[in-house]
Structure 1
Amino acid sequence: MQLESQLSDRAVFVTGADGFVGSHLVDRLVNYGADVHVFVRATSSGELNNIRHHSDDVTVHRGDLRDKHSVSEALRALKGRSDSLIFHLAAQAHVGESWDRPYETVDTNVNGTLNLLQSIVDLDLDIAKFDTAGTSEEYGNVKAEMADNHEFDEEGRVLLSERSPVNPTSVYATSKLAADFLTMNYHDAYGLPTVTTRMFNNYGPRQNPRYITGTIITQALERDIVELGNLTPKRDLCYVSDGVRGHLHVALEGNAGQQYVYGYGENLSMREWTEMILDVGTEHGYWETPEIVQDDDRFRPGDSDVEELLVGYEKLNEETGWEPQVSWREGIRRTIEWYAENSDSWYGRVDWR
């Protein structure tokens, strides 16, 4: 069944709706005619940034995930609605900042998830699916003593799936793993129809410029050098529209109590990713090829960096037919175009000045 026909007039609640992935999910839900409820952090200005163009199309609930009362009051909108969907995308999602703000990271990502799940139980909501967005960072590096429990492809690369051991190496990754387990605890204890999804390194328009793709593009647009941290780790990068489709397929067609992982299905080093971005930008006339500079000050603390991430998304593909549709070079082109045309959205947020 087409996604659109399953979402028309359906109540859908999205946390982190004004964020990077959340805003793209809201775009899709509004286009499909869903009854969209968005939960965004209350601020003094009350401004929406990424979904302002949908202000007349969504119901906005302002609060804070860390405040159980505001979470319960927002979810009360689903009372009496059957078959509703909840997408939990809100999080402190930056690995580096999780070391600078460890308490806020744990409070938001762990207690925030707990507040949502417990509120659903307290309100006795009738929901069809609750999707907690996890992260590929939860896998971390392969421990020698656990190597026999991992799968490897024909080239000897570790292939990460729903069956792979986890080994979080940052405050962020540990907090997200805890959120995943809480999500499954509430399925086992209360029968909530929960699922967890681990996306592998989404990128695209509207992403915070402090993430790798944004920091490469914004530096290249503004100067002749691109200063980066460790360029040897390998990542599996998935364009945001494919990531959003993954969430929708899991919520509508996935099985409760299950985990689903997905990404592009191929990886490359951060140096190779940087070179590809700079090549695409040069090809389309956005810059002359800048120099790549590795800066030790931009490395992750100690041994906390994850060496290699590569997804095997067979489970999601077999159950729902999902597969990535946007190539790396096309996704990069779209992303550069957005940053080039929307400097007001990121100029004051970069960390390289």
Structure 2
Amino acid sequence: MDLNTALADRPVFVTGADGFVGSHLTERLVDLGADVHVFVRATSSGELNNIRHLTDSLTVHRGDLRDQHSVREALASLRDHSGIIVFHLAAQAHVGESWDRPYETVDTNVNGTLNLLQSIVDLDLDVTKVDTAGTSEEYGNVKEEMTDKHDRGEDGRVLLSERSPVNPTSVYATSKLAADFLTMNYHDAYGLPTVTTRMFNNYGPRQNPRYITGTIITQALEREIVELGNLEPKRDLCYVQDGVRGHLHVALAGSSGEQYVYGYGENISMRDWTNLILDVGTDHGYWERPEIVQDEGRYRPGDSDVEELLVGYEKLNEETGWEPQVSWEEGIQRTIDWYANNTDAWYGRVDWR
């Protein structure tokens, strides 16, 4: 797929553009010559922390996804455009914080998605694709009575695909599943060319340091211990630039009304992931190897932790040719390097001090 010709001068609208994945997507869209409109939350300072370096190449719309008026006003600026692609990445995306801020999580992720979809319909925009970003957390744990409904790899492990049953175990996961269904509802009811994408645990530069990869790295850079919660769960971790490529492939070559899941295609326990990060950082001279300490206070509430996630991304690969390109070791090294050289971007945001 030639992304350069497909996206040159193409009008695109990105929600959550200043977030982790959104900023990388926005940066890539600018590089590809798209006509990029971004929707970011209005703040008193008006800061764009992750995409400030791109502002001369963007049309910035400030508002709040929870406020239908501001969403509609931003989208109205695209009335005279055709072939618009909408990337909907804005969300309250932290699983742990969804328990601390359940109302905000549901309001942003569910009502915010509804505001976006309804505004597109009300304005009768000429869109060619609306990509709502979901999450692997929607699958949750495999229920015993649903075991036979899951695909399995040659080694017997459950492979999560577009056909797999869902079982959300957090406020965040439930809100994202609701957003997925709303997106499909608007395809079925209004013929809106929507798709949903479930990404499996993106990591990389600019990620909030409260997520697992960031908290490991920032602690290792600053002290002799790394305090973590439950290290038994397994995750399928995909480098953010591969995640961005997934969004682009789905938006340009995916079929409307369909869902696409993607990730690295292999999983690893959080204990082994921690050790891999610490090994890579030690080998590259970022730190002397810290000690790993488990803290029960960092566990998720009750039985809400998801035990194992592993993706089967065959559908996306067969339809668009997408596959991951960045190895865990390379992705980890790039991520450590960013945290090591951008202390001001994360120092006041960690949850371990």
TM-score by length of 2: 1.00
Matched, 1:183 2:183: yes
Q: Which amino acid aligns with 2:351?
A: D
Alignment partner of 1:230: what SS?
coil
Q: What is the 5 A alignment of 1:95-174?
A: 95-174=95-174
Counterpart residue number, 1:342: 342
Counterpart residue number, 1:298: 298
- Structure 1, gaps ≥5 residues long: none
Q: Offset of 1:80 from its aligned partner?
A: 1.9
Q: What is the 5 A alignment of 1:66-81?
A: 66-81=66-81
Q: What is the 5 A alignment of 1:185-224?
A: 185-224=185-224
- Once the two structures are superposed, residues 186-231 of structure 1 have per-residue CA deviations (whole angstroms, 9 ceiling, x without a partner) of 0000000000000000000000000000000000000000000000
Q: Could you tell me how far apart the structure 2 residues matched to 1:41 and 1:57 are?
A: 19
Q: Could you tell me how far apart the structure 2 residues matched to 1:256 and 1:212 are?
A: 33
Alignment partner of 1:55: what SS?
helix
Q: Which amino acid aligns with 1:88?
A: H
Q: Could you tell me how far apart the structure 1 residues matched to 2:345 and 2:87 are?
A: 25
Range with bigger deviation, 225-234 or 151-160: 151-160
Matched, 1:226 2:226: yes
Q: Could you tell me how far apart the structure 2 residues matched to 1:131 and 1:245 are?
A: 13
Q: Could you tell me how far apart the structure 2 residues matched to 1:170 and 1:231 are?
A: 18
Q: Could you tell me how far apart the structure 2 residues matched to 1:300 and 1:78 are?
A: 42
Alignment partner of 2:347: what SS?
helix
Alignment partner of 2:85: what SS?
strand
Q: Offset of 1:121 from its aligned partner?
A: 0.6
Q: Could you tell me how far apart the structure 1 residues matched to 2:35 and 2:77 are?
A: 11
Q: What is the 5 A alignment of 1:3-82?
A: 3-82=3-82
Matched, 1:83 2:87: no
Q: Which amino acid aligns with 2:290?
A: P
Matched, 1:2 2:18: no
Q: Could you tell me how far apart the structure 2 residues matched to 1:48 and 1:242 are?
A: 23
Q: Which amino acid aligns with 2:53?
A: H
Counterpart residue number, 2:271: 271
Q: Could you tell me how far apart the structure 2 residues matched to 1:213 and 1:130 are?
A: 29
- Once the two structures are superposed, residues 40-96 of structure 1 have per-residue CA deviations (whole angstroms, 9 ceiling, x without a partner) of 000000011000000100000000000000000000121021111000000000000
Q: Offset of 1:279 from its aligned partner?
A: 0.1
Q: Could you tell me how far apart the structure 2 residues matched to 1:11 and 1:152 are?
A: 40
Matched, 1:245 2:231: no
Q: Could you tell me how far apart the structure 2 residues matched to 1:143 and 1:77 are?
A: 46
Q: Which amino acid aligns with 2:288?
A: E
Q: Could you tell me how far apart the structure 1 residues matched to 2:154 and 2:54 are?
A: 46
- Once the two structures are superposed, residues 261-319 of structure 1 have per-residue CA deviations (whole angstroms, 9 ceiling, x without a partner) of 00000001000000000000000000011000110000000000000000000000000
- Once the two structures are superposed, residues 137-168 of structure 1 have per-residue CA deviations (whole angstroms, 9 ceiling, x without a partner) of 00000000111100111222110000000000
Q: Which amino acid aligns with 1:167?
A: N
Q: Could you tell me how far apart the structure 2 residues matched to 1:155 and 1:249 are?
A: 29
Q: Could you tell me how far apart the structure 1 residues matched to 2:275 and 2:184 are?
A: 40
Q: Could you tell me how far apart the structure 1 residues matched to 2:197 and 2:77 are?
A: 25
What is the number of residues matched between the two proteins? 353
Q: Offset of 1:4 from its aligned partner?
A: 1.2
Alignment partner of 1:292: what SS?
strand
Q: Could you tell me how far apart the structure 2 residues matched to 1:139 and 1:77 are?
A: 37
Q: Could you tell me how far apart the structure 2 residues matched to 1:241 and 1:312 are?
A: 19
Q: Could you tell me how far apart the structure 2 residues matched to 1:6 and 1:210 are?
A: 36
Q: Could you tell me how far apart the structure 1 residues matched to 2:300 and 2:274 are?
A: 18
Provide the aligned C-alpha RMSD in A. 0.4
TM-score by length of 1: 1.00
Matched, 1:282 2:277: no
Alignment partner of 1:37: what SS?
strand
Counterpart residue number, 2:325: 325
Q: Could you tell me how far apart the structure 2 residues matched to 1:136 and 1:77 are?
A: 33
- Once the two structures are superposed, residues 94-129 of structure 1 have per-residue CA deviations (whole angstroms, 9 ceiling, x without a partner) of 000000000000000000000000000100111000
Q: Offset of 1:15 from its aligned partner?
A: 0.2
- Structure 2, gaps ≥5 residues long: none
